[in-house]
Amino acid sequence: MKQAPKYRVLVTGGAGFLGSHLCERLLADGHDVLCVDNYFTGRRQNIAHLLQNPRFEVLRHDITFPLFIEVDQIYNLACPASPIHYQSDPVQTTKVSVHGAINMLGLAKRLRARILQASTSEVYGDPAVAEQHEGYWGNVNPIGPRACYDEGKRCAETLFFDYHRQHKLSIKVMRIFNTYGPRMLPNDGRVVSNFIVQALQGEPITIYGDGSQTRSFCYVDDLIEGMVRLMETPADVTGPLNIGNPGEFTIRELAEKILQMTGSKSELQFAALPEDDPKRRRPNIDLARKVLGWEPKASLEVGLERTISYFRSTLCA
Ligand SMILES: NC(=O)c1ccc[n+]([C@@H]2O[C@H](COP(=O)([O-])OP(=O)(O)OC[C@H]3O[C@@H](n4cnc5c(N)ncnc54)[C@H](O)[C@@H]3O)[C@@H](O)[C@H]2O)c1
């Protein structure tokens, strides 16, 4: 039987939520993995269980500074993803998106390595279309409080495509929609972790606005499967490619589901909607279905069950 090739893979942001799941998956697939992280929002405990693996290495490094190493593939995930964190130091957020991308693209160019960018549905901003497909150019406020992230990620995409056109670099740009699962931080304000933690602690569930805004929620294992598949596509597949779960729920529905699944008696509390908060988010994943043969498998119930059980064990530990 033909063996799948084994690579030396760099994962930036590897100690974060998605990064730690990616490192785990790449090790399981037999690759050597170098995790690079400055621990801004990442945690050592996310990767502690991998440290015994001789094919796993960790380097504390800030990717806004150049990095000289030897690898075959780069997954560029380093960037705080939750509004609380990326707005706490907005200049650094743009720096990590733009300087970080330049440094990683420069490294990929020197090594002729394939590079994947963890982009985001935030490049669509507050979308004027109900379902976002890759051809939609977005509706982003360039000077608002979310711009450091949205515009940083948009500029990173520009850099990826210019390196591809100008230097013939093999790039993969993945637009990630809301993803949730174990190892999210309990206090980073992302809606799924927020609601679960509030429900488990019997605190009021904070809903911004009237809760009628919709989101789609992708379970982390599905997301990582899509990411790894995209990296392995032929060189002419560059993306951008949406990965997310098209199932659309209102924020209120999510809160009620979590209350029911945790058996919590928490009340719903309504607060003002933050500035530039998108009203709708729903990925069109036709391209991922066609190019990767991918679609999400975990239902919201299954994903929430696993995530609730993770928070139950960590909050009570
Ligand atoms: N989780 C989602 O729903 C989602 C959605 C869209 C896009 N993304 C993208 O996926 C990537 C990972 O997101 P996440 O949810 O795992 O977030 P996260 O905050 O858990 O992970 C980001 C990681 O990057 C590290 N990091 C930040 N700045 C760095 C720097 N300058 N140098 C080195 N490391 C640095 C952090 O310490 C952390 O470990 C991000 O690029 C994010 O924009 C995530």
Nearest residue (CA) to ligand 1, atom 19 = 80
Inter-axis angle of helices 220-231 and 17-28, nearest 10? 60
- CA dist 120 → 134, 223, 316 (Å): 11, 12, 32
Q: Return the ligand 1 atom nearest residue 178 CA.
A: 3
pLDDT (0 to 100) of residue 2: 66
3-state secondary structure at position 21: helix
pTM (2 d.p.): 0.96
Q: What was the pLDDT predicted at 306?
A: 98
Residue list, ligand 1 pocket, CB within 6 Å: 12-13, 15-19, 36-42, 62-64, 77-81, 96, 100, 118, 120, 176, 178-179
The structural domains of the chain, ordered by start, are 8-315 (3.40.50.720)
- pLDDT score, position 273: 86
Cα 260 to ligand 1 centre (Å): 30
> How does pLDDT run across 102-161, given as a tens digit for each residue?
999 999 999 999 999 999 999 999 888 888 999 999 999 999 999 999 999 999 999 999
Distance 16 CA to ligand 1 centre (A): 6
> Rounded to whole angstroms, how far apart are CA atoms 213 and 211?
6
Q: What is the pLDDT of residues 201-231, one digit of tens each?
A: 999 999 999 999 888 999 999 999 999 999 9
* Per-residue pLDDT at 54: 97
Question: Ligand 1 atom closest to Cα of 119?
Answer: 7
What per-residue confidence (pLDDT) applies to 1? 62
Q: Which of 258, 245, 241 is nearest to 298 (CA)?
A: 245
- The segments of the chain whose pLDDT lies below 70 read 1-2, 276, 317
**CA angle, corner 177, sides to 51 and 257, nearest 5?**
90
